[in-house]
Every structure is written in structure tokens, then in C-alpha cells.
């Protein structure tokens, strides 16, 4: 589809470079897009594909080391790239506005949020006097569904939750009634329930105001909810553009297929066998199709022939010369269900009525009498050998705290933790070296968990020396083997962490943990910093390692789809208390605990275009820690006083699934609205 007079903004043949260490590197090549009035265009691709760069170019906002080599960005009748600063100032924030990824850094911490919004109005001189401006700010607050606006306007950003902060950012962007809104990963840092509310808000705002949007994200599930059309980018090239339904049902470009295939789904029967191999190597891009080195359909001509977008249909374009011969039906992966390893019969890790707290018992605290409210309360868990127990819940639910307690880096623990039949000391210093060896921790962010000044060789050799006393050739061989186990070759040994990609770094971190030959791996959100294709590879790797080495895992994740694909057992936590535990199949089928239900409803899926709106995470009302159900304040099925005051009972679901709720199982069954959709057809 060619740009029409209906387009709000049009990008024509854009070439864009950044200067890094004295060399100009092309980051966008021949990109053309247009956004129609009231349309939401989604931009998707893995990190480094140029999607954010394109978004900033639409604002004509260039970093000092950036250069436009060719092309135009036409907004209205003007080429934005040719405009001067003052002309841009009149456009940006008024007709084109921006919602950033991280609201915490986007809002000025020392200015009240109401004032930050009115600043936009004052700056652009759109409203006459302060009274009108105040009214407009009020109006914007209710527009973005912020409660009790007069009190909230006077708050500082840190007094708001992440979701509320993002709403303020959206209100700022909408202040001058823009005709185009650019959103750069606006929900990426948020919990899945908060994300679903922001998405619902954006959908409603669009219907109400009718502005066009450019929505940049790495998450295909999110785009399925908000976008009308989607542009898929790879290495600075637009490789496929299609309406959202067509893109998911008939993806033509091999990269799009791989990307869709890499996304795990909560309904594991929908998982696809297609995934992406290799990595984007920026310095080794062929002159023809940039995806050629990773493509299964590529031939020699792809390397040399530059690919241009061709029409598949009127509104579907793909930049692949072989598109006609590529089957748009991606086969469903049927082996998925049997990939999990067999669970051992011995209990390995056992939490018995454990409460955890960050406050140490000190003389000062006991004198002042400040009661330390534990962040995790009365949790009982058990992990068998070779079993994966997933901990899920929103941020602040205590998932990581439990992993830290198991690792021995939390000061205050009450209750008992057992490991391999013996008591486990709360402090790692008081554990035996055998226990230290058998419990290994992998952190979320491999950038922080690898010493930047140590080579891969040094990183891996230390645990070998420490736990097994390896030296000399024995050590050299062991390092090679451990790299091989995570599918890295021995050429990586001399590299430093900054010479590795994110996925490779996480592999090195995994290799380091495996060096100790542990019985238990504690994995704290280890996939969340990685791209989907890398995630898919690591999930496959973890599964294989688990069945080869009989390792048990405590797997912490906010991503229910990943959990569904990797875990044997799941524990759902809310605000430090267990809500539901059970075998993964039983947990993901009704009856659900109300909180599990809320979480499942909030997951954006590419097969389910309309997620339900879930109750907000507001300040918890009515319940003090230890009294009543901690979820009661937010529960959509709350029973009133009973939930507020009495501890809910554990109910056994018969399928080794325990639900802690005042509702009976039959009642919960009746209320369940989330259910697994019928078996996916070939499409």
C-alpha cells in the first residue's frame, strides 16, 4: 500500500548512520513507512534492529553522532528532517508527541506531576491562563484514568506506582492533542497486569481521540493487542509490513516466521517448531539480504541481491525474493509436551513455613520496637530432584527473596529450610562447601553477574579451582567441556564480557553455574534481559541440561508462557504469600485461584487479540500483613469481611494442585473465564 493523502506521516527511503569510534555505521537502510490517520503502526524486531532509531527519527530527534544519509520524513506538508530547531519545537509535543520506555527517568523527580503536565501546556502556549490550564490538567488526569486527580496532581513521581507514572507520561504526551503519538516500549518495565491496563487505556484513547500511533516494542503479544499494522525490522531494514491479523496468520518473511515461532505461548499446544538460529552479526552483513546468514531458505543469490519490499497483496509487503515459495503456515511443534525431563523421587529443597525479612534483628530495632514485617510470610515449598519449580507473581511478590534465602544471602529467616535431607543455614558462610557447590545462582542480568575485567577463561576456571582443585591441562579440558555444554566453542575463552552478546553472556553465566555440578540451580528471571529468539534457545538449552544432568531448578519468572514451557510445578505468590501451587498442567487449567486467573487474563498472546481488563494494582486496602487474604484488596471475586479478616484455607484440587481461597473449588471453576482455547489448527 502506497502512502495516500490519508497519511499522517510518511518516511521515504530513509538511510541513517551512527558514528561509532570514528566510523559511520548504517543503522537504517532504505526504510519507507507511512502511518494513516488514527492508525496504530507497530514496529517489532530484536534489539539493535533500528526500531527505536526510526521512532526518534519520526520526531526528527538526532543524537550528535547521527547522520541522515538520504530520505525524507514528511509530516503534513513539511519534511521534518529539514526543519530548524525552532520550527521543530512548535511541532514536537504539540502535533507529534512521545511516550518513553521508562517513566521513572522520564519524569523529573523534584517536580509535582501535575506541574509537569501543565509545563507542557505553558511551554507551547496553547492555553490562555492558569485557570484554563488547571482545568485541562484535571481533564487529562481523568482521560488517562488516574484516580482522585486533585490529590494525585500534587504528588511527586516517586509517590506514584510504575503504572501511574506511565499514565502521567501519556497524559503529558496527550496534553496538546497531538495527531501522532510515538511510543517506545511503553510497557516493557511494567508488570503484566499493569501492562494490560496501559494497553487497554491506549486502545480506548485511540477510539476516543483518534490520534495515530507508532508503537515500538519487542513483544509480538503486545502488538497483537494494539496494532492495526505491523512493520518487522531486521538489521535496519524493513523486512515485512502487514496488517496484524495477516502477519500472524500468514507471515511470509523467514525472519517474521522465526520471530513468531520463538514466542512461547501459555497454551503450549500452539508453540511452533520454527525458531531462529544464529545471531545478528552487524559487521558481517552481506550486501544483499541482511537475514541471509541466518535464513533456512537462503541461496547464493540472496547474498548479493538487495531485497526490496514486494507486494504480496495490497497491504502486505515482504522483502524476500523467495516469498512465493515459502509456506506461510508455520508448523506447530508437537514434541513440546514430552520435552520435560522426568522428575526424581527424592525431595531436594524444602521450605517449611518460612518467613523472610530484610531487616536484621538488632539491638536498636528491638529497643525501638519497630516490628519487622516479613516480605515473605509462611511459605512452604518443595522441589524434587530433577524438577523445575517456577515461582511466579508480580514485582514485589517475594519471588527473588525466596531465591536469595535459598542461596544464603538474606540476613533474616524464620522457619526451616532443608536441602538434601539436611538443614540449610540462612547465611552462606555457615554452609558446608558441599552445600555451596550444590546450590548455584544465576542472575537476571548477565552484564552485572560477569566481572567485566575477567576473561571467560578466568570466569570459568575459578569455580573449577575452588570446588574441584583442577589445575593445568585438567583445568583447560574442563573449561572447554563446560563451554561446549552451553554450545560455545573454545575460541570464546579469551574473550571479555563486553565482547559477547547478551545471549552469549547469559550462556557463560549458566556455564559458570554448571561448572560446580550443582543439584539445584536458582534462576532469577534469567531470560528477561534477552531477545525472544535467544530466549527460545536458552529454554531449549536449559531443558536439555536438566535431563542430562538431573538438575533441579527454582525458576523465577514473570513470564507465564515461559513457565508453562519449562516448569514441572508452579507456585504463585502475591505480596509475599503463596496463593496457589501445583503441577503445571493443573495450575494452568481451571479452577484457578483468583490471582492466577488475573495473571493469565493479563498475558498478551498473539492468538488472543483481546485481553481482558484486569483489576488495578492499587494500594492494598483493608488488610494488614498476617490478617485475612493478602489479595483481598484487589480480588475481583472478593467475599467481603471474610476475605479481609480470615486467613483463607488451602483447598486441594485433586490433581496435586492447592488453592488458597475462601471460595470453594466449584465456585472458582464456575467463575473461570480464562480457558485454553481449542486445539490450534495448522494455521
Beta partners for 440? 521
- Nearest distance, CB of residue 434 and another protein, angstroms: 11
Q: Who's near 608: CB < 8 A, 6+ residues apart?
A: 224, 677
| Rounded Cα gap, residues 396 and 625, in angstroms | 14
Q: Which is nearer to another protein, 57 or 482 (CB)?
A: 482
CA distances from residue 211 to 57, 126, 208 in whole angstroms, order as listed:
19, 18, 9
- Nearest distance, CB of residue 431 and another protein, angstroms: 8
- Nearest distance, CB of residue 420 and another protein, angstroms: 17
- Does the bond joining 366 to the residue before it have cis omega, within 30 degrees of 0? no
Take residue 245 and report the three cell numbers written for it: 491479523
Structural element, H or E, at residue 11: strand 7-20
Q: Which is nearer to another protein, 95 or 449 (CB)?
A: 449
Q: Taking a C-beta distance cutoff of 8 angstroms, is the pair 354, 376 a contact?
A: yes
CA distances from residue 79 to 72, 83, 522, 588, 644 in whole angstroms, order as listed:
6, 7, 53, 52, 60
- Nearest distance, CB of residue 436 and another protein, angstroms: 5
DSSP string for 495-532: --GGGS-HHHHHHHHHHHHHHT--SEEEEESTTTTS-H
Q: Who's near 567: CB < 8 A, 6+ residues apart?
A: 388, 389, 390, 555, 584
Q: Which is nearer to another protein, 2 or 433 (CB)?
A: 433
Question: Residues in the site for another protein, rule: CB under 8 A?
Answer: 22, 407-409, 428-429, 431, 433, 436, 439-441, 443, 445, 448-454, 458, 462-463, 466-467, 498, 512, 516
Q: Taking a C-beta distance cutoff of 8 angstroms, is the pair 554, 521 a contact?
A: yes
Beta partners for 28? 16
- Nearest distance, CB of residue 395 and another protein, angstroms: 18
Q: Could you give the residue ranges of the DSSP H alpha helices within 386-471? A: 399-407, 433-438, 446-449, 456-468
CB pairs under 8 A, 24+ apart, for 650-654?
653/582, 653/586, 653/591
- Nearest distance, CB of residue 429 and another protein, angstroms: 8
Q: Which is nearer to another protein, 166 or 482 (CB)?
A: 482
| Rounded Cα gap, residues 337 and 229, in angstroms | 33
Q: Taking a C-beta distance cutoff of 8 angstroms, is the pair 556, 524 a contact?
A: yes
Structural element, H or E, at residue 198: helix 192-209
- Nearest distance, CB of residue 475 and another protein, angstroms: 16
Burial of 73 (0-12, 13-18, 19+ CB in 10 A): buried
- Nearest distance, CB of residue 430 and another protein, angstroms: 11
| Rounded Cα gap, residues 489 and 475, in angstroms | 16
Q: Which is nearer to another protein, 407 or 632 (CB)?
A: 407
**Among 219, 224, 287, 295, which Cα is nearest to 257's?**
295
Q: Which is nearer to another protein, 231 or 463 (CB)?
A: 463
CA distances from residue 263 to 158, 603, 625 in whole angstroms, order as listed:
34, 13, 37
Q: Which is nearer to another protein, 527 or 629 (CB)?
A: 527
Q: Which is nearer to another protein, 20 or 334 (CB)?
A: 20
- Nearest distance, CB of residue 502 and another protein, angstroms: 14
Q: Which is nearer to another protein, 146 or 406 (CB)?
A: 406
- Nearest distance, CB of residue 441 and another protein, angstroms: 6
Q: Which is nearer to another protein, 202 or 515 (CB)?
A: 515
Q: Which is nearer to another protein, 497 or 604 (CB)?
A: 497
Count of alpha carbons within 13 angstroms of residue 97, beta-carbon side: 20
- Nearest distance, CB of residue 410 and another protein, angstroms: 12
- Nearest distance, CB of residue 548 and another protein, angstroms: 23
**DSSP code, position 628:** S
Beta partners for 66? 18
Q: Which is nearer to another protein, 353 or 458 (CB)?
A: 458
C-beta atoms surrounding 427 within 10 Å? 11
Q: Which is nearer to another protein, 236 or 408 (CB)?
A: 408
Beta partners for 407? none
Q: Which is nearer to another protein, 428 or 680 (CB)?
A: 428
- Nearest distance, CB of residue 408 and another protein, angstroms: 7
- Nearest distance, CB of residue 503 and another protein, angstroms: 17
Q: Which is nearer to another protein, 11 or 407 (CB)?
A: 407
Take residue 496 and report the three cell numbers written for it: 571479555
CB pairs under 8 A, 24+ apart, for 281-287?
282/25, 282/48, 282/235, 285/235
- Nearest distance, CB of residue 25 and another protein, angstroms: 17
- Nearest distance, CB of residue 413 and another protein, angstroms: 16
* Rg of the Cα atoms in the chain: 26
Q: Which is nearer to another protein, 407 or 584 (CB)?
A: 407
Amino acid at each position: 500500500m502506497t502512502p495516500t493523502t490519508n497519511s499522517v506521516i510518511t518516511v521515504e527511503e530513509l538511510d541513517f548512520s551512527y558514528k561509532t569510534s570514528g566510523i559511520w555505521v548504517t543503522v537504517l537502510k532504505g526504510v519507507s513507512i507511512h502511518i494513516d490517520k488514527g492508525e496504530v503502526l507497530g514496529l517489532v524486531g530484536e534489539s539493535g534492529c533500528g526500531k527505536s532509531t526510526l521512532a526518534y527519527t519520526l520526531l526528527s530527534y538526532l543524537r550528535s553522532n547521527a547522520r541522515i544519509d538520504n530520505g525524507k520524513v514528511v509530516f503534513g506538508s513539511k519534511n521534518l528532517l529539514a526543519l530548524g530547531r525552532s520550527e521543530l519545537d512548535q511541532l514536537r509535543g504539540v502535533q507529534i508527541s512521545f511516550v518513553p520506555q521508562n517513566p521513572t527517568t522520564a519524569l523529573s523527580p523534584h517536580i509535582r506531576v501535575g506541574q509537569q503536565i501543565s509545563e507542557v501546556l505553558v511551554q507551547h502556549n496553547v492555553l490562555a491562563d492558569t485557570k484554563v490550564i488547571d482545568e485541562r490538567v484535571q481533564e487529562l488526569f481523568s482521560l488517562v484514568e488516574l484516580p482522585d486527580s486533585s490529590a494525585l496532581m500534587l504528588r511527586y513521581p516517586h509517590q506514584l506506582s510504575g503504572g501511574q507514572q506511565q499514565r502521567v507520561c501519556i497524559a503529558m504526551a496527550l496534553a496538546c492533542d497531538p495527531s501522532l503519538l510515538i511510543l517506545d516500549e511503553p510497557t516493557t518495565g511494567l508488570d503484566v497486569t499493569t501492562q494490560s491496563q496501559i494497553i487497554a487505556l491506549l486502545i480506548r484513547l485511540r477510539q476516543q481521540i483518534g490520534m495515530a500511533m507508532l508503537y515500538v516494542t519487542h513483544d509480538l503479544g503486545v502488538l497483537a493487542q494494539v496494532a492495526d499494522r505491523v512493520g518487522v525490522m531486521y538489521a535496519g531494514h524493513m523486512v515485512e509490513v502487514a496488517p496484524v491479523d495477516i502477519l500472524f496468520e500468514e507471515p511470509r518473511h523467514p525472519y517474521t516466521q522465526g520471530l513468531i515461532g520463538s514466542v512461547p505461548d501459555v497454551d503450549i499446544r500452539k508453540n511452533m517448531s520454527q525458531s531462529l538460529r544464529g545471531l545478528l552479526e552487524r559487521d558481517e552483513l552481506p550486501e544483499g539480504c541482511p537475514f541471509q546468514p541466518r535464513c533456512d531458505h537462503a541461496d547464493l543469490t540472496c547474498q548479493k541481491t538487495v531485497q526490496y519490499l514486494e507486494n504480496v497483496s495490497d497491504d502486505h509487503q515482504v522483502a524476500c525474493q523467495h516469498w512465493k515459495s515459502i509456506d506461510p503456515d508455520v508448523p506447530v511443534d508437537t514434541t513440546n509436551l514430552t520435552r520435560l525431563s522426568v522428575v526424581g523421587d527424592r525431595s531436594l529443597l524444602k521450605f517449611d513455613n518460612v518467613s523472610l525479612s530484610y531487616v536484621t534483628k538488632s539491638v536498636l530495632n528491638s529497643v525501638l520496637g519497630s516490628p519487622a514485617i516479613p516480605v515473605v510470610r509462611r511459605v512452604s515449598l518443595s522441589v524434587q530432584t530433577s524438577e523445575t519449580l517456577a515461582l511466579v507473581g508480580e514485582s514485589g511478590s517475594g519471588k527473588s527473596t525466596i531465591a536469595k534465602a535459598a542461596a544464603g544471602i538474606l540476613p533474616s529467616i524464620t522457619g526451616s529450610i532443608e536441602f538434601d535431607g539436611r538443614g540449610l543455614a540462612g547465611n552462606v558462610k555457615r554452609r558446608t562447601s558441599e552445600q555451596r557447590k550444590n546450590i548455584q545462582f544465576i542472575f537476571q542480568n548477565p552484564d552485572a553477574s560477569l566481572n567485566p575485567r575477567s576473561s571467560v577463561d578466568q570466569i570459568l576456571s575459578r569455580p573449577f579451582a575452588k570446588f574441584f582443585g583442577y589445575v593445568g591441562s585438567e583445568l583447560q579440558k574442563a573449561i572447554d567441556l563446560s563451554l561446549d555444554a552451553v554450545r560455545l566453542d573454545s575460541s570464546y575463552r579469551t574473550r571479555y564480557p563486553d565482547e559477547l552478546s547478551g545471549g552469549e553472556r547469559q550462556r557463560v553465566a549458566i556455564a559458570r553455574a554448571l561448572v560446580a555440578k550443582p543439584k539445584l540451580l536458582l534462576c532469577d528471571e534469567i531470560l528477561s534481559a534477552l531477545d525472544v529468539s535467544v530466549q527460545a534457545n536458552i529454554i531449549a538449552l536449559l531443558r536439555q541440561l536438566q535431563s542430562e544432568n538431573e538438575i533441579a531448578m527454582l525458576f523465577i519468572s514473570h513470564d507465564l508462557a515461559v513457565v508453562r514451557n519449562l516448569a514441572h510445578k508452579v507456585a504463585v505468590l502475591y505480596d509475599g504469600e503463596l496463593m496457589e501451587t501445583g503441577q503445571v498442567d493443573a495450575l494452568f487449567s481451571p479452577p484457578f485461584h483468583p490471582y492466577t486467573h488475573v495473571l493469565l487474563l493479563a498475558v498478551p498472546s498473539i492468538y488472543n487479540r483481546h485481553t481482558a481488563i484486569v483489576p488495578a494494582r492499587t494500594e492494598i486496602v483493608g488488610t494488614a500483613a498476617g490478617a485475612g487474604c493478602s489479595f483481598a484488596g484487589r480480588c475481583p471475586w472478593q467475599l467481603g469481611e471474610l476475605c479481609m479478616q480470615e486467613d483463607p484455607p488451602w483447598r486441594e484440587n485433586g490433581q496435586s494442585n492447592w488453592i488458597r481461597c475462601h471460595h470453594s473449588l466449584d465456585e472458582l471453576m464456575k467463575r473461570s473465564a480464562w480457558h485454553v482455547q481449542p486445539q490450534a489448527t495448522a494455521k
